[in-house]
Structure 1
Amino acid sequence: MSDTHASPFSAPRIVPKPWGRELWYAHEDRYAGKIIEVNAGFALSLQKHERKQETMYLQSGRLVYHLNGTDYEMAPGDCITINPGDVHRVEALEDAVILEVSTPELDDVIRLEDRYGRAGS
């Protein structure tokens, strides 16, 4: 029996970053899902969002999460929710894999500081 319907499956979008990469596996009208891979010793931008809310689950590795001026060490199994306006940054102490679910505004990034020359973009 052959199926004449198009496959419902799609490949994730891979977004290379100076600190690792993101795999966007969902970008829908009401939600988004990413796998964020951060290489040891690297950090994301110090940033905030105007609209985007996100929850991160650390699947593997260790990292320091900078949130509103306070540093927290995260270990596998830890979760954190970031609300609009929160100033935050992820810094990997070891290679880290983060699962992120969020509202769909993936381009809502205000970079306050960036090690890779992207601040202000």
Structure 2
Amino acid sequence: MSIEPVFSRLEVHPKGWGEELWITNNNKYCGKILQFKKDSSFSMHYHIKKEETWCVTRGRLKLEYFDLEKATRKEKLLEEGDVVHLKPCVPHKLTALEESSVFEVSTEHFNEDSYRVEKGCSQ
């Protein structure tokens, strides 16, 4: 096992709502910066495997999610400094009320682990 640091560059993944800047994605963890354009949103979706935590670093966003125990849709305003932890299987959607950035840390990201419930700006 090498003890040398590993150097890389951000991977930019353009989206209809802005872009994802991937810092890393490996079998232990994933780190991303989500940059949203004003009035844009990603789809309402959930993950079966992925567990994620977000920190709003700039702007204001509306989080929509489903309370699965009460079978109700809920909303929460997120502002700079707010942190949200999402367990697997919770449908969620972010809409930027202004240009916004979110730092995301999570378990490993798999494209096939995103299950869309409603369309967003990328669909």
Q: TM-score range by the shorter chain?
A: 0.7 to 0.9
Q: Is the 8 A contact 2:57 2:81 kept in 1?
A: yes
> Which residue in the other structure is 1:55 paired with?
53
Question: Which has more radius of gyration?
Answer: 1
Q: Deviations over 1:86-105 (max 9, x none)?
A: 01000000100000000003
Q: TM-score, normalised by structure 1?
A: 0.88
Amino acid at match of 1:85: C
| Alpha-carbon offset, residue 28 of structure 1 | 1.5
Q: Is the 8 A contact 2:40 2:121 kept in 1?
A: no
Partner of residue 115 from structure 2, selected from 79, 85, 110: 110
- Which has the bigger relative contact order, CA under 8 A and spacing at least 6? 2
Q: TM-score, normalised by structure 2?
A: 0.86
- % identical aligned pairs: 31
| Alpha-carbon offset, residue 61 of structure 1 | 0.3
Unaligned ranges ≥5, structure 2: 67-72
Unaligned ranges ≥5, structure 1: 1-5
| Alpha-carbon offset, residue 116 of structure 1 | 4.1
In structure 2, relative to structure 1, the CA distance for the partners of 1:51 and 1:8 (3 Å cut) is closer
CA distance in 1, matches of 2:15, 2:121: 10
> Which residue in the other structure is 1:67 paired with?
65
Runs of 4 or more, structure 1, over 4 Å off, are none
Q: Is the 8 A contact 2:51 2:88 kept in 1?
A: yes
Partner of residue 93 from structure 1, selected from 70, 84, 97: 97
